[in-house]
Structure 1
Amino acid sequence: MKPKNKTNKTGILLLAAALSLGSAVSAFAADGGAAPPSSGPGAVLSMGTSPALGQVPIGGGSYFEVRNVSMLPDSGSKTVTFTLTVTNGGSSELLFIDYWVRLKTKSGNDLSVRVLPQDKDKNRISPKSSQDISFYATVNEATELNDLIFQLIKWDFSQPNFERALGEIPVPDDYNIVAKAGESQTIQMAGNPVKTTVKKVLLGKNEKNYTPTVVLTVQNTGSRSSAVPSYQYLLRTAGGDMYPLEAKGIKDLVINPKTDKDIELSGSVPVSVFTEGWQLVIVQNAADLKLNLPIAFYELPSVTDPDNVDSGKEYTFTNEKGTYTTQLNAVQRLPWEDQDILTARLTLSDKGPESLPIPDFAGYFMLDDNVKVEAKLIRTDNVIGLAPGASTQIQFIGKIPYTYEFGKVKLVLQEKKGSDGGSSGSGTAAQTTILLEFVHRSEMMNMTYNNVGETFKSTGVGRSASYSVRGVTTYSGDTEDMFAVQMEVTNLEKRFSDVTKLVAQFKTSDGTVYPAAVSEIKNKISPNGKVILMLSSPVPRSFPTSGMHVMIGEAVTEDKLTAGDKKPDAYVNAAAFWLPQESYSVKPDLMDLDLTPYKLSINHINTWLDQQGVGLKFNYELSKDLLMQTNTDGRKLVIGLEDEKGQIKFTREFDFKDFEGATPQNPGTGSGTPSGTTDDKDKIKLGKVENFEIKVNDRNLIFFVETLKNYKLNIYDSFQGHKKLLASKKIQWFEPTD
């Protein structure tokens, strides 16, 4: 019996080791499809250089060292990462499969630990060498770093629990992972050391937000070129709140050995937040794990006063008509196809006692006092003059290559004059006179960023409106996905108004820009009325959308806002919205399904099978938010039935455009006006309907009747031929549900 017991113990030991290691790699299968190599499935994940905690000897001059312990809050939990350096001081190969690291809390709770995908095959450590193996774990949001204890074990089947404790390393109370202001943090970018330091912090302010700009210096101290991954950059306040920052100019950024690069990070923080104690946090999205992993933490230095920035200051000029007051509100650099748009927004005011006409303006940009960029005047407000105390907005836009870099930009504001001294409209040879010059710095050219849940208000004369992100959805396709944002727009005018035509673009954390189509609303919107605009773009399959934002701007054609069917050639008054996390949960029931602006509930489901084919019958209720308009082009409700053995499978599509028609005739208590036509009976419409039927004619299906046990009823939201599964309910064949 002893050999048998030994065999059993050995088998149990190997099984335990396999389960432990297997749990570390079971989540590493990629979702498939194309994705940017720096952020998609299979990307090499970075690690920071937090202080070492301690060592545990394992004999023969070999030891384990725990390093790089970090923690990041993430959606109701926290993610812990750490590195275990395995040093083999012996003369023979060391196998890590003989060992393991456990993580527990000081209160005795055991935590599941897994190996990062890139390190799952690191098992053999050669003599007189070291190997880094990185791990991650998810803990509850109440757990702090100093609650953790690392326990090193060796598998040993001679022990009652098949393991032998080698030592423990607790996280001390004073453990600090945040670099002091001015200190550097080294990040291992795909194994190459890169030193990072916060160089300076600039801080702007508007009526509702601070607009910080953090300049991060990245220096490659390694021996090979390093591509900067698509990190996500966050500003963490003293209260622990996180606000995303956009990194400028990082798309395809490669830093060569012994060189450095400044990366500008900008975003928005509410003015109600205390500005002391801010930190910069760098995280990386692990698409395989569906987690954000902490990389580095920095204490921010004191704010640097920007030099030669004229935004927000009032200046006056005088012509033969009177004295005007002008203020530069913002200068922005915006993506546009294979170029960038330079746009400057000014407010022109009349602070005198008499009305003034609008001058005939012209202007241009001067970059670094050397490169002239022609600018076009855009008048977005429909005004013909300025009454005393009134003001209006004007815009100037120019275009430059998106790869061109500069430090200073100057807007030169001019007035056009005819040869006879009158306005340019009365003369034949127009001349210009310089009125004012406004100077701005490139690192302060921040777009208005709206954090998740915030609303942006556009205050243009005659087109005041508010914009907010209602939700995001990824619709799956066979070769590509469709990413869509539902943008809620509210008319703030006191009269019926058209929805301003928008230009929209999605921007990823690595700087990739995807132009987005914007659904069109042709009806005028009532005062305080709302519409839902669908902003959408095809993206690669399994595309990581974490850290994305959407930019919108008022579409411009030639020198005015785009109207009718004209094609935009630029945009102004741009704003950006950080996007909320998308919910990928699938409801196990079919009640209260969100089909914005509709809501659908399905119950009393039953099936039958006869010599003609198979049938599905159910009751439904479809309701709508009557205060909201939307364009339903391309949207469909898809109902699919799938037998668990794959013997019977079918789907039916129902166009959203048909939802608004009359309720189909039915023998139950459906509301609405009965139609009675065959076509109407096959459509889903607003109201309550009983005994709605879907039939599939197939005489061969009757032969499966003896083997049918369960099926799934799946409900999809479909857009432009792509689908998202909303709900899936497992049901027994031929047994009606409640």
Structure 2
Amino acid sequence: MKKLRSTYHAVLISVLVISPLTGYKVNAANSVGVTNSTTSNLASPTANRTSSLDSIKLASNIKATLEEVNIWPQAGGNILTYTLNYSNGSNRNLNLIQYFSRVMTPTGTIIPGNPVTGDALKKKVLPKGTTRVTYYVNVGTTNSLIGLKIPMYVWDAKTKGYLKQVGTFNVPTQYTPTVASGKSLYTTMNDVPVTAFTESLKLYQYNGKTYAKAGISLTNRGTKVFEDPGYTVYLLSVGGTSFEMVLDSSQATYKIQPGEKKVIYYLTEIPPYLETTNMKLQYIQMDKTLKVELPKTSFSLPKATIPDLTVGKGIVKKILINNNTIETKLSNETVYAENNKGIWSFQLHLKNSGNKAVTMPSYALAIKSSEGKAFPIKAKSLNGISLNPLEEKVLQFTAELPLDVDQKPVHLELIEEIKADVLAADPTTESVGKSSKLTLPVAYFTIPYTHRPDTQQGSDYTTTNAYGTFSYKLHTLQRFPWKDDDIIVAKLSITNTQSTTLTLPNLKGALKIGEDDLTSSTDLFMDKQVATLASGKTIDMYVLTKIPYTSNIDKMQINLYSVANEENVSFLSLSSNNTVNDVDSIERGGSFMVAGKGKNAKVQEKKTIVYAGSNSNIVYTELLMSNEENRQSKMARLQAYYQTADGQFYEAISNQSDISAAPGGKQLIAFWTKIPKSVSTSNMMFYMGSGITGNKLSEPGQESTGVVNIGSLRLSPQSSYANMSEVTLSPYTLSIQSADGRIKEGSDSISIVMNYNLFKDSSYDTGIFNHKLILKMTDSYGQSQEKALVLGTDLTVGNQNRITMSFSSDQFKNLYGGYYRLTLYDEIQGERIELASQEYSLTYERLPEIEK
């Protein structure tokens, strides 16, 4: 954009000559609004191309008509321009070098006129043709058209001085060069015929400054595209002040197609005390070769108005951007208090209701209180975005206002920022000021005070943002023990309710709990490969973070956002004060469902046993997980905790198979924990969920970073004690059929032959079998000896099997029968629990007597 300047000087009484004469019509301007219009068959113009002041006969069938006279002040002397239209009615070429014009000032000074650079090469007029030539003269300090004369001369060798005066143009005293307000002009700009008339003059006040915005309508009457001619434009006041103007930023490189009409807007800053009646708009063309400014067309502007920029609740505000109408509206305005601030949230809707693509100019946004305090908002998401015809976009914004500021009501200020180097010079004070931009207010949207409601779990809500319209639901808010902390998990779902595809950005999650912003430690778990949602489709997502287990929760805010241009762009924001620990309860005999891509499974409790120890109890739970996928798949790793009736949590140690399960296949998962003897094991709860690693469900053997989809199961533990006929160590079941213990006379060893059946359940897979079966033999003296038996090796699978064991002690030499006890123990991770125990008779075998 070119440099903008404002120079104070005496305005000439007359600036531009466009005077209606008898026989020429200058009609009132068309009252059509600001929309573009194009017609294939243009009507004849109702305004003359230019005004003719008078004609002078130069020779037979040859005449010159004075059409335009203008004057413009400049530092090196005021420049007068005038245009002569040469008409050649003869049958041969007219050589213009034979004709001359001069300017006579009121003081009698005669100055030769010279063609401007653009017309310097016009030397001839074709037969029956016309040619317009504009001349310029430096008239020094002359600043009025009154009394000016333009004598015409013809080359004549017989006349003294070789120039014969053939007539003089006298500028009429009542002559005014400016097009009256409400009148249209048919003229040329850069050799393109256009119809022009002034549309409006509006004044805007912002931050103690006053801005003027003038609109002029241009209709291209030619056959080629009309582009910005590069003229300098001035706003002229009746009191003698001129201000250089700049194009509206959205029209910096405007083009007008043949037959098309556009309103072109020019802006400038003016003093707030300036008289704004009878203002004019003046076009000036810079002749770079001559280094002079040449006055062009000027227009009287309508009476200045001050537009009401306030936009009521729910009202659509239409703004013009490069002659395209953009509909703007605020919606979903809410506020809530946090950290002694009012947190405002709202959406700005934009719709291009025009017929051309539009790029939004640069804007500044601010929330302004009724006290006049303004709080800026980042506007990167608005500036420079493009809107195709009929395209709609929704932008989300937030703002923070201190609570000591009156927040009923507040307004959103939409301010256009127009880049311009503005120089202002006032000869009366010799002061110079400079600013780098013009800030023009566009709209003041009223933001109603609406407290943001809490989102209720299980309810459906519908919203619209920049990506489309969708419904969302807050399913659960769960709290789960995690190492030394607690993990908070919010489950959401989003459903595409529109008829077209909903595109999802690269979402991130953020949680605020009370006054604590946990954005940096919040994770979002969802299927990141889902970039779009078809109409009617739903996607689940989990927002989770970790907090100290001692923390209390009374309020939670959940945010989904993406990052664009290094800014967080809100996708969905909600708050809830619902109870946390909303964990789905699994009925006795019911199923817990694991949901995840390639990990869908069903989990059921097989059994829970409490093994009573001497100093502590072990709670042991077995689950069966069934693969619900249609292909072989590795199951998700489960994370679990036991909770006692008094609210204490104990982390569960797991044993889970890491091999893939066939479709419909089952796997046995074992969990256990050690609980102090003093803690009751009645009314215990078992909490479990799917572990996650990064953005995927964890697999067995992977370290989980969190857990989702938590369910709870009320346990009804069985007794650990069983008889020797049925001892279960999944997947094995051992049945001791009999035990025959014998000791021979004088021997120090007891021999026991144990008959057994061993069954292995192959209907499910297991992890590494880390149970140890310990057999303890207690003799009649109360002394015990142990043997470790490996199921499947020492004890083989099958029926009617036999194993022989021997136990030795010197004291056995004195045994003559009696009994012994066999006790079976399950040893896990060094912890031993009794499974079954039974007493058997010991047979004493005497040695045969030796006959003497």
TM-score normalized by the length of structure 1: 0.49
RCO (CA 8 Å, sep 6+): is it higher in 1 or 2?
1
TM-score normalized by the length of structure 2: 0.43
